[in-house]
Structure 1
Amino acid sequence: MAASEPDAIIAALTPVIDGLAATLGSFCEVVIHDFRRPENSVVAIAGTVTGRTVGGSMSEIGMGLLARGDEATDELNYITRTQDGKLVKSSTMVLRDSAGTAFGALCLNLDITVANQAYALIGELAGTSGPATVPTTTFGDDIGSVVDAIVDAHQLRQHRRWSELSRRERLELFRSLDDRGVFAVRGAAQQIAERLGISRASAYNYLAKARTPTDAPDADGSVPVGPHQEGVQA
Structure 2
Amino acid sequence: MPDNPPPLNAERDAIVAALAPVVDGIAATFGPVCEVVLHDYRRPEQSVVVVAGAVTGRSVGGAMSEIGLRMLARGDEAVDELNYLTRTKGGQLLKSSTIVLRDSTGAVFGALCVNVDVTAVQQAQAVLAGIGSIGGAACGGAAGAAATTTFGNDIDSVVEAIVDAHQLRQSRTWVQLDRTQRLELFRSLDEHGVFAVRRAVEQVAARLGISRASAYSYLSQARAVTGTPAPSDSASDGGAA
TM-score by length of 2: 0.86
> Which residue among 197, 207, 223 is the counterpart of 1:195?
207
SS of the aligned residue for 2:140 comes to coil
> Which residue among 147, 157, 172 is the counterpart of 2:159?
147
1:97 equivalent in structure 2: 103
Q: Cα distance, 1:214 vs. partner?
A: 7.7
1:18 equivalent in structure 2: 24
Alignment of 1:12-161 (within 5 A): 12-127=18-133, 128-129=136-137, 131-132=140-141, 133=144, 134-161=146-173
| Count of residue pairs the alignment pairs up | 215
Q: CA RMSD in A?
A: 1.5
> Which amino acid is the alignment partner of residue 109 of structure 1?
N
Higher helix share: 2
2:231 equivalent in structure 1: none
Runs (4+) of structure 1 exceeding 3 A deviation are none
Q: Cα distance, 1:131 vs. partner?
A: 1.0
> Which amino acid is the alignment partner of residue 83 of structure 1?
K
Q: State, as a whole percentage, how many aligned pairs show the same letter.
A: 64
Q: Which runs of 5+ in 2 are unaligned?
A: 1-5, 228-241
Q: Cα distance, 1:146 vs. partner?
A: 0.8
Residues 1:182 and 2:188 aligned together: no
Q: Cα distance, 1:126 vs. partner?
A: 2.5
Residues 1:205 and 2:217 aligned together: yes
> Which amino acid is the alignment partner of residue 76 of structure 2?
D
Q: Which has the larger radius of gyration?
A: 1
> Which residue among 129, 153, 164 is the counterpart of 2:176?
164
> Which amino acid is the alignment partner of residue 6 of structure 1?
R
1: CA distance between counterparts of 2:61 and 2:165? Answer: 25
2: CA distance between counterparts of 1:124 and 1:198? Answer: 50
2: CA distance between counterparts of 1:16 and 1:122? Answer: 35
TM-score by length of 1: 0.88
SS of the aligned residue for 1:77 comes to strand
SS of the aligned residue for 1:105 comes to strand
2: CA distance between counterparts of 1:101 and 1:5? Answer: 12
2:235 equivalent in structure 1: none
> Which amino acid is the alignment partner of residue 84 of structure 2?
Y
SS of the aligned residue for 1:4 comes to helix
Q: Report Cα offsets for 1:118-167 as digits up to 9, x if no partner.
A: 01111222334351212111000011111111101110111111011110
SS of the aligned residue for 1:138 comes to coil
SS of the aligned residue for 2:148 comes to coil
Q: Which runs of 5+ in 1 are unaligned?
A: 216-234
Q: Report Cα offsets for 1:45-79 as digits up to 9, x if no partner.
A: 01111000001111111111111000000000011
> Which amino acid is the alignment partner of residue 7 of structure 1?
D
